[in-house]
Structure 1
Amino acid sequence: MRVLAIASAGGHWVQLLRLLPAFEENEIVFVSTHKSFSQTVKNCPFYVIPDANRWNKLKLLKVCFCVLGLLYIIKPDVIITTGAAPGLMAVIAGRLLGAKTIWIDSIANVEKLSLSGRIALLFANRTYTQWPDLATSKIKYKGSVIG
């Protein structure tokens, strides 16, 4: 199975890397917003895309086209992300293109899902929180990836 693992810089990337053991038996392709991150996943294909946020709509559009292009090239069976905007774009586009999609909301979101997480909930096949108090029938809790 081909897994596309995508996350923005910082905590999103750290949390995504913590999930690697779950996908050992699969072909994993990584996507992030910093070229230097390729050094942390040396044995896997790695692509760089621009970062964006909700305050820069033009950049979001650029990220969307970059993600669509990568999905066309990679053709993942599964897309997994810990956020933020690039991961959300991948979940939306991937779901529309027939990939299974998994959103894992950042552990930083203690009181409610992030805005991206709330949008991902509409598109992702599975949405996870890292806090038991945020679990619902649609948002699953299976533990945290940090700690």
Structure 2
Amino acid sequence: MSNRQPSQFTVLAIASGGGHWEELMLLRPALSEGRVVFATTNRELAVRDGVEKVHLLPDANRDEPRLALSSMIASARLVWRLRPHVVVTTGALPGLFCLIFGRLTGARTVWIDSIAASDRPSLSGALARPFATRWYTQWKHLETAAREYKGALL
């Protein structure tokens, strides 16, 4: 049972900068229900794409444990404050953190692995699997019972 307070249906859409953000922006038309809140690691990309209000999270990867810890704490705070009903992410590590904390607060969660993960799921994607309500690959040959393929974003 979640402690979610009644409010407008909220979707948290989160992606790191670069290709992860580009893929998330391709999903914008599908994210039209309720209030969509965006989060990223690069404000300039959000401004470029007309996302007026964006939450910034520290960028991090597994090779930078201190930055990863900072990103994890910021992600937990963001999810706790927003209490989204759904978390959608195209990765990478900040998206994984938001997905995990979203699931722990009762949100439905969607992981869309990057199109760059063509040989096998990304490391963040593999870690996301136990916390993802839905998990999508963009490569038909990577589809399994746990990884759905519905097409590619690019």
Structure 2, unaligned runs of 5 or more: 1-8
**Which amino acid is the alignment partner of residue 41 of structure 2?**
T
Q: Secondary structure at the residue paired with 1:118? A: helix
Of 134-143 and 69-78, deviating more is: 69-78
Match for 2:20 among 12, 15, 36? 12
Provide the residue aligned with 1:54 in structure 2.
62
Provide the residue aligned with 1:42 in structure 2.
51
**1:143 aligned to 2:151?**
yes
Give the CA deviation at 1:42.
3.2
Q: Does the CA-based 8 Å contact 2:80-2:105 persist in structure 1?
A: no
Match for 1:108 among 104, 107, 116? 116
Give the CA deviation at 1:60.
0.9
Q: Secondary structure at the residue paired with 2:111? A: strand
Listed one character per residue, the Cα deviations across residues 45-96 of structure 1 (whole Å, up to 9, x for unaligned) are 3111110000111111111110111112211100000000000001111111
User: After the TM superposition, which segments of 4 or more aligned residues of structure 1 sit over 4 Å from their partners?
Assistant: none
Provide the residue aligned with 1:87 in structure 2.
95
CA distance in 2, matches of 1:54, 1:84: 10
Provide the residue aligned with 2:36 in structure 1.
28
Q: Does the CA-based 8 Å contact 2:120-2:142 persist in structure 1?
A: yes
Q: Secondary structure at the residue paired with 1:41? A: coil
Of 67-76 and 103-112, deviating more is: 67-76
Structure 1, unaligned runs of 5 or more: none
TM-score by length of 2: 0.91
**Which amino acid is the alignment partner of residue 20 of structure 1?**
R
CA distance in 1, matches of 2:116, 2:137: 10
Aligned CA RMSD, in angstroms, stands at: 1.0
TM-score by length of 1: 0.95
Percent identity, aligned pairs only, is 44
